């Protein structure tokens, strides 16, 4: 499937933006939304998305990319302050062949810990209890 195909307004991130699906919000402004991944690769795995519809980075307005990556930096600093990981992976996928599974532009911020295993993006998904996600979201957001 080509990387610049039409945007699907029924993807999960579009539903989250419209308030049709819940999320554990970390940050929001007029153009960007950030929330915890419900299938995290590690504790504190966060997603950052533009609110404007775009399938992937190749179809995203340059100004929106700037806003998203500005938020990625701020949120990464907050994750670092709140969770004290040993490292942070920041990654972004474009197209199913590259590993993209939700076709709305998004960036993953994945805290990495020396003594904990990080689950690969394509491996079986882990889950964290909703109560723990609520605590994590508040903990990270408090550092913004």
User: pTM of this prediction?
Assistant: 0.89
Question: Tens digit of pLDDT for each residue in 96-138?
Answer: 999 999 999 999 999 999 987 666 655 555 667 778 888 888 8
2 Cβ neighbours under 8 A, 6+ residues apart: none
Domains assigned to the chain: 12-141 (3.30.428.10)
pLDDT, mean of residues 10-39:
96
Which residues are annotated as catalytic? 106
> H helices within 27-116, ranges in order?
62-83
Please give the helix or strand (H or E) that residue 132 lies within, else none. helix 130-141
Task: Please tell me the distance from the alpha carbon of residue 59 to that of residue 106, in angstroms, as a whole number.
Answer: 12
Average pLDDT, the chain: 90
User: Which of the two residues, 24 and 127, has the higher pLDDT score?
Assistant: 24
């Amino acid at each position: 499937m080509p990387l610049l195909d039409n945007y699907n307004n029924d993807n999960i991130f579009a539903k989250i933006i419209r308030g049709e699906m819940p999320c554990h919000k970390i940050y929001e402004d007029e153009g960007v939304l950030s929330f915890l991944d419900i299938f995290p690769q590690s504790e504190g795995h966060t997603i950052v998305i533009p609110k404007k519809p775009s399938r992937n980075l190749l179809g995203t307005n340059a100004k929106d990319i700037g806003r998203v990556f500005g938020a990625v930096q701020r949120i990464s600093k907050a994750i670092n302050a709140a969770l004290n990981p040993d490292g942070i992976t920041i990654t972004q996928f474009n197209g199913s062949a590259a590993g993209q599974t939700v076709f709305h532009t998004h960036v993953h911020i994945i805290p990495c810990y020396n003594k904990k295993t990080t689950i690969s993006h394509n491996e079986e998904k882990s889950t964290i209890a909703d109560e723990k996600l609520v605590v994590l979201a508040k903990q990270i957001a408090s550092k913004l």
